[in-house]
């Protein structure tokens, strides 16, 4: 059994250090996991920048902590193999390949209690284990389930980065008449076409609102998934969502999904947009899920079936020693960047 581990710790804003530290044996209800891969996630960017962190109170509730105390251990999208199990662990054994929100996953090894945190076994049919990141797959499963477009609906995905494309791929399997991809980068729109988008819009080149009106014959979209994390994206979602006025009488209200983390202060004038259309707004973050484990298992099954082709969207891989480069690229991505992973 390993007695020491390597771990990358954020010791100051925008500065990681990789160090070694002792590794204790797992307790009777714990397991020791060797990390194979860990995803770089934009939700940890505010912590990297020194702005804020998602923290947990003693009562188990989450809050935005703006008083970050260093060092900070990050990483929550991970795949690993179990090396040792405690005597009281029943559902897992050494040699099992597992995935889930294993924390902190920017490390060579992690000890966790699988009875208190969601953890899923990876099916034997999965060959590229390092790409079976159950946490973002759970997020995509959660979002697509909430979108739930009906037969003949018009759906727009605003923001075709990693999560936007993953969700678009899932929604494209529905009976929606049109799946519209909206992004400022043409290469991402090309990805969207490959994954099932029926129409693409680049707001730099055309008026996005008018383009959507033309596609939807003046109705607007029934479902808008806003994945930019910026107020401009949310404002556009409000502009293109259908209302229940004279044009759409009887169709009901449109639905806006916001899985994005709006991390930084921005303003927008959404009062009239929201008043006139009164869309149903779903905050489809992980906490939206009514059954995290079920959504995570369905996400993995979606990966196995090719519905969520996460492996195709991994554009960059880094060693643990190069984690700094990974976060710097995530902060200032080129047009070829979609998703990075760390390989400890």
DSSP category for residue 16: E
Condensed to tens digits (0 to 9), the pLDDT of residues 125-175 reads 898 899 999 999 999 999 999 999 999 999 999 999 999 999 999 999 999
- Of residues 335, 329, 326, 344, the one with CA closest to residue 190: 335
The H helix count followed by the E strand count for the chain is 9, 18
Burial-class residue 69 by CB neighbours within 10 Å (0-12, 13-18, 19+). Answer: exposed
Helices marked H in the chain — which ranges? 45-48, 134-147, 162-171, 186-194, 208-215, 231-240, 271-277, 292-304, 323-331
Contacts of 60 (CB under 8 A, 6+ apart): none
| Assigned token pair, 312 | 């195709």
Condensed to tens digits (0 to 9), the pLDDT of residues 282-292 reads 999 988 999 99
Q: What are the structural domains, with CATH classification, of the chain?
A: 4-132+314-343 (3.90.180.10), 137-287 (3.40.50.720)
Q: Tell me the residue length of the chain.
A: 344
93 pLDDT above the threshold of 80: yes
Residue 115: strand, helix, or coil: coil
188 pLDDT above the threshold of 80: yes
Identify the helix (H) or strand (E) that includes residue 258: none
- What pLDDT, on the 0 to 100 scale, is given for residue 137? 98
Query: For residue 78, what are the β-bridge partners?
Result: 38, 100
| Assigned token pair, 323 | 């984690």
- What pLDDT, on the 0 to 100 scale, is given for residue 92? 97
- The reported pTM is 0.94
Contacts of 274 (CB under 8 A, 6+ apart): 238
Dist. CA 300–CA 286, nearest whole Å: 15
Strand order in the sheet with 4-12: 15-22, 4-12, 72-73
Model confidence at 198, pLDDT cuts 50, 70, 90, reads: very high
Residue 147: strand, helix, or coil: helix
């Amino acid at each position: 059994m390993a007695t020491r581990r390597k771990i990358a710790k954020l010791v100051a804003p925008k500065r990681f250090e990789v160090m070694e530290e002792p590794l204790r044996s797992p307790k009777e209800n714990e397991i020791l996991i060797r990390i194979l891969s860990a995803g770089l996630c934009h939700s940890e960017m505010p912590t990297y920048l020194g702005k804020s962190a998602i923290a947990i109170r003693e009562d188990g509730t989450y809050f935005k902590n703006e008083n970050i105390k260093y060092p900070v251990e990050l990483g929550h999208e991970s795949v690993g193999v179990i090396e040792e199990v405690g005597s009281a662990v029943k559902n897992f054994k050494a040699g099992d390949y597992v995935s889930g929100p294993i924390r902190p996953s920017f490390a060579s090894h992690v000890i966790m209690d699988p009875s208190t945190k969601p953890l899923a076994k990876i099916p034997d049919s999965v060959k590229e284990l390092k790409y079976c990141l159950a946490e973002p797959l759970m997020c995509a499963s959660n979002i697509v389930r909430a979108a739930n477009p009906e037969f003949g609906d018009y759906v727009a995905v605003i923001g075709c980065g990693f999560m936007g494309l993953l969700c678009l791929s899932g929604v494209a399997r529905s009976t929606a008449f049109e799946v519209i991809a909206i992004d400022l980068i043409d290469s991402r729109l090309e990805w969207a076409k490959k994954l099932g988008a029926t129409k693409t819009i680049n707001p730099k080149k055309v008026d996005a609102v008018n383009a959507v009106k033309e596609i939807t014959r003046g109705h607007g979209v029934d479902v808008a998934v806003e994945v930019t994390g910026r107020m401009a994206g949310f404002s556009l979602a409000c502009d293109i969502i259908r209302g229940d006025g004279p044009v759409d009488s009887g169709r009901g209200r449109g639905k806006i999904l916001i899985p994005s983390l709006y991390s930084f202060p921005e303003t927008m004038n959404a009062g009239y947009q929201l008043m006139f259309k009164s869309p149903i707004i779903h905050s489809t973050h992980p906490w939206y899920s009514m059954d995290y484990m079920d959504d995570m298992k369905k996400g993995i099954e979606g990966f196995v079936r090719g519905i969520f082709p996460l492996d195709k969207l991994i554009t960059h891989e880094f060693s643990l020693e190069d984690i700094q480069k990974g976060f710097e690229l995530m902060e200032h991505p080129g047009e070829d960047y979609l998703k990075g992973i760390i390989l400890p």
